[in-house]
Amino acid sequence: MSQIDLEYLSKRESERVEWKENVADIEDIVKTAVAFANDYSNLGGGYIVCGAAETKDEYGFQKIVLKGLDSTRFKEIEGKTTALLRERVSPALVPVIEEIQVDSERRILVFIIAASDKAHSFRNLRTGETVYYIRIGRQTREARNGLMMELFRSKGVMPPWDKQVNKSASLKDIDLITLRSYLQVMELWDSSKSIDDYLSSTRAISAHIPPLLGREGITQNEYPRNFSLLLFAEEPLVFFKGAYAYLSIYNGTDRSEPYGVRHEINGNIVAQTRKLIDLLSYETATIFKKENPMPNLTRYPKRAIQEAVVNCMVHRDYEIEQPIRITIFNDRIEFFSPGKISGQINKSQFRKGKAAPFWRNQTLAYFFNKMQLAQAEGQGIPTIISLLSEAGCPAPKFEFGKESFTTIIYPNSSI
């Protein structure tokens, strides 16, 4: 039985799914598979769903239409797609294939494409051209000129930082109690397995997340990956000098005023996130004003603050030896995150909450999503903008520093 939940994919991972209700051209599937494998935006790969469509219901919410494929069409698409991925894609791709039953006669065909450390191309027989495809937002595009050079550079050095092995750590640095607890919360724990089954360099716990461990060097010794240490080590600060956070509260509107309280937050990044959200919770208190037409006013929407904290934790650059800094003033909260945003992101569109997502640490985005600490991957900024507007707060401000990114939110203007 398939473990893929199409409703979940529609609501939570839409950037990583290509819906093909009617497969008019099998080459389109292959091009999209190449784009997911090239993983230009660090999404971790993607799903190509054949025989289903994503639409909206009468209320505007996502809805999946399960049309399905009959056995003849199912076998045709599966056979031709795998043949093209093998014969006309270089290096060849071998997808994971799942089927989801619609009824006794029809099935949904799903190709799961993992991110690759190589640059893959597709050979067009009609033109003789070899083309590299990439995924930007929900679109599959040809990588040409600068985009192609960026793709080549990203594939020629090493995997993204979060997926690299850390030779300064060992298995002993993974807190097994924390690992088990978090896997249970994420519903990824299988009680029939032992904890050692998850501490593996060969078994991944998700189609688009590498194993928690990796092998390195001639000896092929096993080491934790960087994301495993950030999530499951008792104290990641031992390995990453900037992996902590400051929360400061000032009794005024600028830093010339003496700060009233300062907290230094340590521990794994999930524990840090929960602590910061808890400390910030009093800023979301509901204020009761009988004389106001809207008597129950929220100073800041709780979910907007949570998304801002998560955005700092998930998307920061952990190679920079600076902490996350969250600063509360009388008239605003500033969320400072080390590391500039990708040059591929359109800043104008970003400020509107409409930029195509790009993940610096895709593994962290996945785990925070599964922990129910974040909305759908890539939806943090749009969610913040929307929630602040609904709560009567001014629009947030985004500052793009040379080596940092800061989100500034303001309280309800009626308070």
- The secondary structure of 173-214, three-state, reads HECHHHHHHHHHHCCCCCCCCCHHHCCCCCCCCECCECCCEE
In this structure, are residues 240 and 227 in contact, taking their beta carbons and an 8 Å threshold? Answer: no
- Give the start-end residues of each E strand in 137-282: 139-142, 213-216, 221-224, 245-250, 259-265
Identify which of 402, 76, 77, 363 has the alpha carbon closest to the alpha carbon of residue 229: 363
In the block, residue with structure tokens 């080590």:
233
In angstroms, rounded to a whole number, what is the distance separating the alpha carbons of residues 316 and 341?
A: 9
Residues 6+ apart with CB under 8 A from 324: 244, 245, 246, 312, 313, 316, 335, 336, 337, 338
Structural contact between residues 15 and 70, judged by C-beta atoms closer than 8 angstroms: no
Helix, strand, or coil here: 337?
strand
Q: Is the Cα torsion angle 265, 271, 273, 274 positive or negative in sign?
A: negative
Q: At what angle do helices 71-87 and 26-38 cross, to 10 degrees?
A: 50
Q: How far is CA 8 from CA 15, 98, 410, in A?
A: 12, 16, 32
Q: Return d(Cα 145, Cα 255) in angstroms, integer.
A: 46
Which region, left, alpha or beta, applies to residue 128 given φ > 0 means left and ψ of -120 to 50 means alpha? left
Residue in the structure block whose two tokens are 């990114």: 405
Residue 55 host element (H or E): strand 52-56
- What is the DSSP-derived secondary structure letter of residue 46? E
| Residue 2, amino acid | S
SS3 call for 267? coil
Q: What is the pLDDT along the chain (415 residues), one digit of tens a residue?
A: 456 788 777 776 678 899 998 888 999 999 999 999 999 888 889 999 999 888 877 777 778 888 999 999 999 999 999 999 999 999 999 999 999 998 889 999 999 999 998 999 999 887 778 899 999 888 899 988 767 877 887 786 567 889 889 999 999 999 999 999 999 998 888 888 888 888 989 888 877 788 999 988 677 889 999 999 999 999 999 999 999 999 999 888 888 777 678 899 999 999 999 999 999 988 765 555 555 555 567 789 999 999 999 999 999 999 999 999 999 998 999 999 999 887 667 788 888 888 777 778 889 988 998 888 876 556 788 889 999 998 889 999 999 998 899 999 999 877 6
All domains of the chain in start order, with CATH: 6-157 (3.30.950), 163-234 (no CATH), 245-409 (3.30.565.60)
| Other CB atoms within 10 A of residue 43 CB | 23
